[in-house]
Structure 1
Amino acid sequence: MKKKKRRLLVRTIILSILFSAVGYTMYAQFFAEKEKVVVGEKAPDFVLEDLNGEKHKLSDYEGKGVFLNFWGTWCKPCAKEMPVMQNQYEQFKDKGVEILAVNADETELAVNRFSKSYGLTFPVMIDDGGEVQTAYDIGPLPTTILIDSKGEIVDIFEGGLDEQKIKEYMDNIKP
């Protein structure tokens, strides 16, 4: 009888610890305050490799304006804004503005095809595992983060952009 009580007590303690751990994890995942990127603050640094195998570290672009675009090949507004981004990149790349296009964790084959079909010449990177998206608290795609020459976030825009708005944004972050 004593063994049964002891076994029941041990099982109860183990289950209590297990339920507490699961409860805390659920709370932290869904209800805890997430750190969000904020206009006026320093943009979180990251390093990603582009489709040509070159590494791009955000902090290496200080002194330039950065048009940081999060996108997906399946996203219609993303596909619509890519040719416009390419056009504006041609206009602004010699004026100190860079475009960094961060794909939302798709296959290299799909991203390569997409990039080639639009003739993209700015760096296109894949966020394997979504770490950069998490750091920037990216929700819907496309999302564009505008970063000035000091590395500070100037604006955040969720949704597709037309040519006039992209030109305006690039003018705003031009050093």
Structure 2
Amino acid sequence: MSQKKKQRLVIRTIILVVLIAAVSYALYNNLTKDSRKALKVGDKAPDFVLQDMNGQKHRLSDYKGKGVFLNFWGTWCGPCKEEMPYMVDLYKEYKQQGVEILAANVGESNFLINKFIKSYDLNFPVLVDKSKDVQNAYGIDPIPTSFFIDSSGTIKKIVETTMSKEDIQNLMESIKP
């Protein structure tokens, strides 16, 4: 066998092994997805630390004593674009009543996030989960997903769909300290 044929055989074998590993991982991940611990209403919200777009760190546990509306979103997400103006409007009122909004973007570039912030005039902390560690800890799928967390850190409601302004307002009322 010539040297070139041996090299091609080795390269093809490596590619085949990588493909088999990727398919196996995908199958395993999908088959075990339901057995992994999913967060539910009544659970303690997992603590995390994420930076906002100004480099300031936000730790969920620092908001103890306040209600927290934790929203996972993306700039490409149509329902997210629909909800953001409601969140902006309600934040002004509810921040004074002890309810914070933390909007966690999942894995996008600062350029896209900043463009979105300016377009929607966001007035609440926009956190960046570039590594998607927090997204994974919270089991986020699909986006948008929102967690309404009371002042003791307990999850009171999980919403995995688009919300109306009234929905958001009622849920923010329910987590006021």
TM-score normalised by L of structure 1: 0.84
Amino acid at match of 1:29: N
Q: Which runs of 4+ in 1 moved over 3 A?
A: 22-28
Q: How does 1:64-75 map to 2 (within 5 A)?
A: 64-75=66-77
Report the Cα distance in structure 1 between the residues aligned to 2:25 and 2:143, rounded to whole angstroms: 27
Which protein has the larger Cα radius of gyration, Structure 1 or Structure 2? 1
Corresponding residue number in structure 2 for 1:31: 31
Q: Determine if the alignment matches structure 1 residue 51 to structure 2 residue 49.
A: no
Specify the alignment match of 1:143 in structure 2.
145
1:108-136 Cα deviation digits (max 9, x unpaired): 11001101111111000111121111000
Structure 1 alignment gaps of length 5 or more: 1-17
Name the residue aligned to 1:78: 80
Task: Tell me the percent identity.
Answer: 50
Deviation digits for residues 66-105 of structure 1 (CA, Å, limit 9, x no counterpart) = 0000001011110111011010001100100000000111
Runs of 5+ consecutive residues of structure 2 not aligned to the other structure: 1-16
Give runs of aligned pairs for residues 88-167 of structure 1, distance below 5 A: 88-167=90-169
**TM-score, normalising length from structure 2?**
0.83
1:138-162 superposed Cα distances (whole Å, 9 cap, x missing partner)? 0011110010000000010011111
Q: Paired residues, what number?
A: 155
In structure 2, what is the Cα distance between the partners aligned to 1:41 and 1:104?
22
Q: What is the RMSD of the two structures over their aligned residues, measured on CA atoms?
A: 1.7
Distance in 1 of aligned mates of 2:96 and 2:77: 29
